[in-house]
Amino acid sequence: MQLRKLVHIAAAMAIAALPHGSYAETAKKQKAAVENAETDKTQKPIPFMFGLFNAQKPVLEPLTEEQAEYDEKWASLAKKKKYKIKEKYAPTVVRYSGYKPGTIIVDTKEKQLYFMESPTTAIRYGIAVGKEGLTFTGKTRVGDKKVWPRWTPTKAMIERSPGKYKRYSKGMDGGLRNPLGARAIYLYLGRNDTYLRIHGTNQPNTIGTASSNGCFRMHNEHVIDLYERVKMDAEVVIL
């Protein structure tokens, strides 16, 4: 059976949980809150809901049948496990400035990622960062984006931990067991792949830690949301 483009799973789950008629009302309140935040320095963080901000989203390729099935399986599995996200790592709209809209800022010390929604507001997501000695700072750009991406450990990873990574030297297809999770945003320096990724994870308990091989992990539902907002060639600043 041919599947049409899958509606954002996480957004659908969030919307379905709202009382009838409250989605539009909440959207209006949040829009007003964002506008107020730009002039009110005492404004508290704005409650976040998937899909309400950034009307100018990129046009995404339709998901394949296999990708849509993975999204559905993951959503079903996540619902059964009922993993609780710590409040400080949940998506939140906050005051943030100094970068143009559409920019991603990765704060490795705070273990937070910011996506600029306006000149003065950003969506903040919790992340996992690289282990000590495996961190990178500087400016990069979004060079590619993939849904349920294939993963191949780097040569350096295999050399550091051959027992863990050598068996995957030829790569692993995307799926629920793949460590890159539901989506991956590939970071480039010019035309060169840095091999750094902003990606989902099948280990959500690592969010908020320094435990990766240099990449930036996000909860799957969060990286799906970010993936649908960020555009190709967007600037990514790693602090």
215 is known as an active-site residue: yes
Q: Where are the beta strands (DSSP E) in 36-98?
A: 46-47, 92-95
Q: Which of 8, 20, 215, 219 is catalytic?
A: 215
CB 129 within 8 A of CB 210: yes
DSSP 162-206: HHHHGGGTT-B-SSTT-TTTTEEEEEEETTEEEEEEEE--S-GGG
How many C-beta atoms lie closer than 10 Å to residue 143's C-beta? 18
Q: Count CB-CB contacts under 10 A for residue 104.
A: 26
- Could you confirm whether 222 is annotated as catalytic? no
Amino acid occupying residue 135:
T
Catalytic residue among 8, 199, 219, 222: 199
Q: Which residues are catalytic?
A: 199, 215
